[in-house]
Amino acid sequence: MLLATAEESEVADDKLRVASEVLDTTSMYPPPLLALLSWAAGYYHHPIGEVLPLGLSPGERRGKPQRQLGEAGVALTERGRGLAPGAPHRAPQQARLVSLLEAGPLSLSELAAHGISRTVVKALIERELASPCEVHAEQDWRLRSAPLEPNSAQQNAINAISTAAGGFSVHLLYGVTGSGKTEVYLQSIAFCLTRGEQALILLPEIALTPQTLSRFESRFAAPVVTLHSGMGGAERDRAWAAARQGSAAIILGTRSAVFVPLKKLGLLIIDEEHDTAFVQQDGLRYSARDVAIKRGQLEQCPVVLGSATPSLESWHNAERGRYRRHTLPCRAGSGVLPRQQLIDVSGLELSAGLSRELVRRIDSTLQAGHQVMVFLNRRGFAAALMCHDCGWSSDCPDCDARMTLHKTPSGLHCHHCGRRAELPRQCPDCGSGRLVGAGLGTQQTEAFLQERFSTFPVIRVDSDNMTGREAMSQLVQRVLQGDPVLMIGTQMLSKGHHFPHVTLVAVVDADALLFSPDFRGEERLLQLLTQVSGRAGREATPGEVLIQTRHPQHPLIQQLEAPYDSALPLLLSQRSKAGLPPEGALAVIRCDSENRQEGMTFLSELKRSQIVDPDYQMIGPIPAAMARRKNRYRTQLVVAARGRAKLSTIVTSLVAVAESTRHSHRLKWFVDVDPYESL
Ligand code: ADP
Ligand code: ZN
Ligand code: ZN
């Protein structure tokens, strides 16, 4: 790819390559996107050659020409338009296609983006309910259902976002779960569409939130495309083309969609902006939220960051007046915020982690015909397998971690490198048969609950058994029916679902998160517990949240009763004192290699190359929090600076030294700016 030309170059002759032919007369990238990609390469100190492909579709990356749309589509025939609602019966996909086409013709690519297969289209044509037609790439939309009457807080936010159209601004939409943030998005998007512009919405996870998707589809009769990792290459190519050519009005995507080319971007929304799913942890290590904000600036459009639990970064920016904050203080519908209650479990006898009091409350909730969510942030049956006689534990041979015990299917899994092993019958060290699980996992609590509440369905929700969109939609369907169920799950359960019949949420072990080595640990705990609590009592019946802890006096646990933001000043001042983000700027040079010493030596050399300067500090080199993973030793050099500009200067200089330092080809190094992985 040719970015620029020059008459002379300082690069050695043998490193220069000859451009033999000009393939395209125009750039593959709209200019603001090219500017964004170049910015990302600079900001994250990552080679531009590895950043540019992120702005291309999978086909384009392999050298296929850019797709042009405006091609084949389908429209309803007279007969098709005359069908009764829900028809044709017994063919739900065809019925769905009919209802999509009621708003007007759609191209095959748009249909694919809606998940409608060619076979379904063909079937409808054969029944003469639809006929092939040409669809031109004009963006055409209307409202499918009427917007809700916004309350005054929602109206203020909608006004502020809409009047900011055409220029850059960042809006932090801070609203408790269920306060109507999505409604603010929908109405702001409608305004964006009336201006003939496109809206890009980034979500942490699409597969896990089928409800969000269907809310967009039922509000807008408009070309909506989705972009996520579960899509096939061809499907992605088409969605990509629809976005680039402007025929897609609304683009819903996960983090990598922040780089999708758009014809006329008018509004960028990042839902659950605090979610770490927006952080890419390999290759170009970036935060899609931060890239989105830069994109808003380059494309001159408003950016909305929505969350019930904003990140300290965004909160800090709002406090300093860089972002405009809009608060939605109460639940929009009929729901009221749940009551929280701590259960001090120190000294109590627990069954699969649950106190008697908790079991009793689960029982009465189910008996009353309501639903319960039990939250435990570790999947598997037990954190490790141990020998009762000699103390042997199921250490992973390749990582500094223990392999987790799983029962369904049974075996040992390393959650860090993916290694699996059979369950030993005897201790490999002493031959004893007394092997016991240590540390609680979701499968264990599930087994207990199944036995204790055998007349109610117990559903486990974690990444072992909720793989993909199907599993999650089925769960959602079932839970929405409203019969009493008991869900037990990991943080997967805490993500944006709207389950109106859940009235009791229980947190089995709040302490697991309380003493984490990660500097973001306390922030995450607060976010997680607030999000989990937000799942309770979203409609008529008030909700309750029970939190089990051995540290009821801990300031952060005490804080849980108060609104989320009341804990933020304290957390911000702790960070600031320690020189940590959001005020301090942080980058890490990370190494992994086959032996520990190699990485340490390499990083020490980098460190020595720099002069002492009071405006920055280098910590390390030190082993990473998990010093060995997949049989590679991980070491790091942390750079903390007073400001961004300073950080960038020093990292640029470290990268230059690293590039010219000789090291074995087995050693890999990379830069992590604004790191999220624990240090
Ligand atoms: P959030 O995105 O903040 O979690 P939602 O937008 O999902 O909140 O809204 C929560 C519930 O409140 C939904 O059932 C929604 O339909 C309802 N709701 C939102 N805004 C209003 C409103 N202005 N009037 C009545 N109900 C509303
Ligand atoms: Zn033993
Ligand atoms: Zn491992």
Q: Which domain CATH number covers 610?
A: 3.30.70.1710
Q: Do the domain assignments include residue 490?
A: yes
Nearest CA to ligand 1 atom 5: 180
Nearest CA to ligand 1 atom 6: 180
What own/partner pairs with CB < 8 Å and gap ≥ 24 does 566-571 have?
Answer: 567/526, 568/312, 568/315, 571/312, 571/522, 571/523, 571/526
Nearest CA to ligand 1 atom 20: 180
Spacing of C-alpha 73 from chain mean position: 33
In angstroms, the Cα distances linking 429 to 394, 420, 426, 437, 622 are 11, 19, 9, 16, 32
Q: Kindly state whether residues 232 and 309 are assigned to the same domain.
A: yes
Q: Kindly state whether residues 54 and 100 are assigned to the same domain.
A: no
Question: Looking at the 3D structure of the chain, how many domains does it have?
Answer: 5
Within 8 A by CB and 6+ apart from 265, the residues are 32, 197, 198, 200, 295, 299, 301
Nearest CA to ligand 1 atom 19: 180
Output the CA 357–ligand 1 centroid distance in Å. 33
DSSP 511: G
Nearest CA to ligand 1 atom 21: 332
Which 3 state secondary structure label does DSSP give 366?
Answer: helix
Is the beta carbon of 442 within 6 A of some atom in ligand 1? no
* pLDDT score for 569: 93
Is the beta carbon of 495 within 6 A of some atom in ligand 1? no
Q: Do the domain assignments include residue 303?
A: yes
Is the beta carbon of 187 within 6 A of some atom in ligand 1? no
Looking at the CA of 412, which ligand is closest?
Answer: 3
Q: What is the mean pLDDT of residues 150-177?
A: 95
How far is 458 from 259, CA to CA, in rounded Å? Answer: 41
Give the strand order in the sheet containing 420-421: 420-421, 410-413, 404-407, 382-387, 435-440
For the purposes of burial, counting CB atoms within 10 Å of the CB of 189, is it exposed (0-12), middle (13-18) or buried (19 or more)? buried
DSSP 132: E
* pLDDT score for 260: 96
Is the beta carbon of 182 within 6 A of some atom in ligand 1? yes
Ranking 66-80, 238-252, 275-289, 549-563 by mean pLDDT, the lowest is 66-80
Q: Kindly state whether residues 470 and 550 are assigned to the same domain.
A: yes
Is the beta carbon of 148 within 6 A of some atom in ligand 1? yes
Output the CA 255–ligand 3 centroid distance in Å. 27
∠ Cα 614 616 618 (to 5°): 115
For ligand 1, mutation pick of 183, 212, 307, 327 (most atoms within 8 Å of CB): 183
Encoded tokens for 210: 């089928």
* pLDDT score for 557: 84
Q: Do the domain assignments include residue 479?
A: yes
How far is 629 from 401, CA to CA, in rounded Å? Answer: 8
> Which atom of ligand 1 lies nearest, measured to the CA of 308?
3
Is the beta carbon of 154 within 6 A of some atom in ligand 1? yes
Ranking 212-226, 320-334, 391-405, 538-552 by mean pLDDT, the lowest is 538-552
Q: What is the mean pLDDT of residues 463-476?
A: 78
Output the CA 395–ligand 2 centroid distance in Å. 13
In the predicted structure, residue 468 carries a pLDDT above the cut 90: no
* pLDDT score for 139: 57
Question: Positive or negative CA dihedral for 245, 248, 250, 253?
Answer: negative
Q: Kindly state whether residues 556 and 591 are assigned to the same domain.
A: no
Q: Do the domain assignments include residue 416?
A: no
CB 322 within 8 A of CB 527: no
> Which atom of ligand 1 lies nearest, measured to the CA of 150?
23
CB 65 within 8 A of CB 88: no
Q: What is the mean pLDDT of residues 379-408?
A: 92
CB 430 within 8 A of CB 389: yes
Nearest CA among 659, 654, 669 for reference residue 607? 654
Ranking 47-51, 413-417, 517-521 by mean pLDDT, the lowest is 517-521
Output the CA 506–ligand 2 centroid distance in Å. 36
In the predicted structure, residue 258 carries a pLDDT above the cut 80: yes
* pLDDT score for 67: 66
Is the beta carbon of 272 within 6 A of some atom in ligand 1? no
Looking at the CA of 402, which ligand is closest?
Answer: 3
Confidence tier at 593 by pLDDT (50, 70, 90): very high
* pLDDT score for 542: 72
In the predicted structure, residue 534 carries a pLDDT above the cut 90: no
Nearest CA to ligand 1 atom 25: 333
How far is 395 from 359, CA to CA, in rounded Å? Answer: 33
Nearest CA to ligand 1 atom 4: 178
Q: Do the domain assignments include residue 285?
A: yes
Q: What is the mean pLDDT of residues 513-519?
A: 77
* pLDDT score for 670: 92
Could you give the dihedral angle defined by the CA atoms of residues 383, 384, 390 and 391, in that order, rounded to the nearest 10 degrees?
Answer: -50
Q: Kindly state whether residues 602 and 566 are assigned to the same domain.
A: no
Nearest CA to ligand 1 atom 14: 333
> Which atom of ligand 1 lies nearest, measured to the CA of 500?
14
> Which helix (H) or strand (E) covers residue 146, if one does?
none
- Hey, how many other C-beta atoms are within 10 angstroms of the C-beta on 679? 19
How far is 453 from 370, CA to CA, in rounded Å? Answer: 14
Q: For tokens 């400001």, what's the residue?
A: 643
> Which atom of ligand 1 lies nearest, measured to the CA of 186?
6
Secondary structure percentages of the chain, helix, strand, coil, to 5: 35, 25, 40
In the predicted structure, residue 154 carries a pLDDT above the cut 60: yes
In the predicted structure, residue 207 carries a pLDDT above the cut 70: no
Last residue of a domain, one of 544, 571, 598: 571
Is the beta carbon of 149 within 6 A of some atom in ligand 1? yes
How far is 182 from 70, CA to CA, in rounded Å? Answer: 31
Output the CA 658–ligand 1 centroid distance in Å. 52
Provide the mean pLDDT of the chain.
88
Nearest CA to ligand 1 atom 9: 180
In the predicted structure, residue 450 carries a pLDDT above the cut 90: yes
Q: Do the domain assignments include residue 345?
A: yes
* pLDDT score for 635: 94
In the predicted structure, residue 289 carries a pLDDT above the cut 80: yes
Output the CA 367–ligand 1 centroid distance in Å. 29
Is the beta carbon of 326 within 6 A of some atom in ligand 1? no
Nearest CA among 499, 497, 563, 522 for reference residue 176? 563
Last residue of a domain, one of 571, 601, 628: 571
Which CATH number is 500's domain given?
Answer: 3.40.50.300
Question: Positive or negative CA dihedral for 602, 603, 605, 609?
Answer: positive
Ranking 53-57, 207-211, 342-346, 375-379 by mean pLDDT, the lowest is 207-211
Q: What is the mean pLDDT of residues 428-454?
A: 92
Which 3 state secondary structure label does DSSP give 50?
Answer: helix
Is the beta carbon of 179 within 6 A of some atom in ligand 1? yes
Encoded tokens for 407: 């029962």
In angstroms, the Cα distances linking 94 to 85, 127, 132, 216, 676 are 12, 10, 15, 20, 45
Q: Kindly state whether residues 124 and 179 are assigned to the same domain.
A: no
Confidence tier at 42 by pLDDT (50, 70, 90): very high
For ligand 1, mutation pick of 156, 182, 304, 309 (most atoms within 8 Å of CB): 182
Could you give the dihedral angle defined by the CA atoms of residues 638, 642, 648 and 653, in that order, rounded to the nearest 10 degrees?
Answer: -60
Looking at the CA of 404, which ligand is closest?
Answer: 3
CB 446 within 8 A of CB 493: no
* pLDDT score for 364: 94
Q: Kindly state whether residues 218 and 281 are assigned to the same domain.
A: yes
Phi/psi of residue 391, nearest 5 degrees: 85, 5
Is the beta carbon of 599 within 6 A of some atom in ligand 1? no
Nearest CA to ligand 1 atom 17: 333
* pLDDT score for 370: 92
**Structural domain that includes position 216:** 142-328
In angstroms, the Cα distances linking 509 to 353, 356, 360, 672 are 8, 14, 17, 32
Output the CA 641–ligand 1 centroid distance in Å. 42
Q: Kindly state whether residues 171 and 109 are assigned to the same domain.
A: no
Encoded tokens for 6: 């020059």
> What tens digit of pLDDT does each residue of 628-651 get?
999 999 999 999 998 889 999 999
Is the beta carbon of 181 within 6 A of some atom in ligand 1? yes
* pLDDT score for 320: 95
Q: Kindly state whether residues 175 and 321 are assigned to the same domain.
A: yes
* pLDDT score for 540: 62
How far is 87 from 82, CA to CA, in rounded Å? Answer: 10
Q: What is the mean pLDDT of residues 267-290?
A: 95
In angstroms, the Cα distances linking 592 to 518, 531, 598, 671 are 20, 35, 9, 12
In the predicted structure, residue 482 carries a pLDDT above the cut 70: yes
Q: Kindly state whether residues 475 and 604 are assigned to the same domain.
A: no
Spacing of C-alpha 143 from chain mean position: 28
In the predicted structure, residue 59 carries a pLDDT above the cut 70: yes
Q: Do the domain assignments include residue 231?
A: yes
Confidence tier at 485 by pLDDT (50, 70, 90): very high
How far is 658 from 618, CA to CA, in rounded Å? Answer: 15
How far is 190 from 171, CA to CA, in rounded Å? Answer: 17
In angstroms, the Cα distances linking 522 to 505, 515, 562 are 21, 8, 15
* pLDDT score for 24: 67
* Rg value, the chain, Cα: 27
Output the CA 387–ligand 2 centroid distance in Å. 5
Spacing of C-alpha 69 from chain mean position: 30
Looking at the CA of 271, which ligand is closest?
Answer: 1
- Hey, how many other C-beta atoms are within 10 angstroms of the C-beta on 272? 24
Output the CA 436–ligand 2 centroid distance in Å. 11
Q: Do the domain assignments include residue 414?
A: no
DSSP 565: G
Out of 222-236, 458-472, 595-609, the most confident range is: 595-609
- Hey, how many other C-beta atoms are within 10 angstroms of the C-beta on 608? 9
> What is the DSSP pairing of strand 250-253 with strand 198-202?
parallel
How far is 284 from 5, CA to CA, in rounded Å? Answer: 25
* pLDDT score for 308: 93
> What is the DSSP pairing of strand 72-76 with strand 382-387?
unpaired
Residues with CB under 5 A from ligand 2 (ion): 387, 389-390, 392, 427, 429-430, 432
* pLDDT score for 50: 93
Q: What is the mean pLDDT of residues 499-518?
A: 84
Nearest CA to ligand 1 atom 16: 333
Q: Kindly state whether residues 257 and 285 are assigned to the same domain.
A: yes
Is the beta carbon of 271 within 6 A of some atom in ligand 1? no
- Hey, how many other C-beta atoms are within 10 angstroms of the C-beta on 254? 20
Choice between 136 and 258, residue whose per-residue pLDDT is larger = 258
Question: Positive or negative CA dihedral for 354, 359, 361, 362?
Answer: positive
Q: What is the largest CA-CA distance in the chain?
A: 80
Is the beta carbon of 153 within 6 A of some atom in ligand 1? no
Ranking 273-287, 454-468, 528-542, 562-576 by mean pLDDT, the lowest is 528-542
Q: Kindly state whether residues 148 and 287 are assigned to the same domain.
A: yes
Looking at the CA of 401, which ligand is closest?
Answer: 3
Looking at the CA of 211, which ligand is closest?
Answer: 1
Is the beta carbon of 261 within 6 A of some atom in ligand 1? no
Is the beta carbon of 336 within 6 A of some atom in ligand 1? no
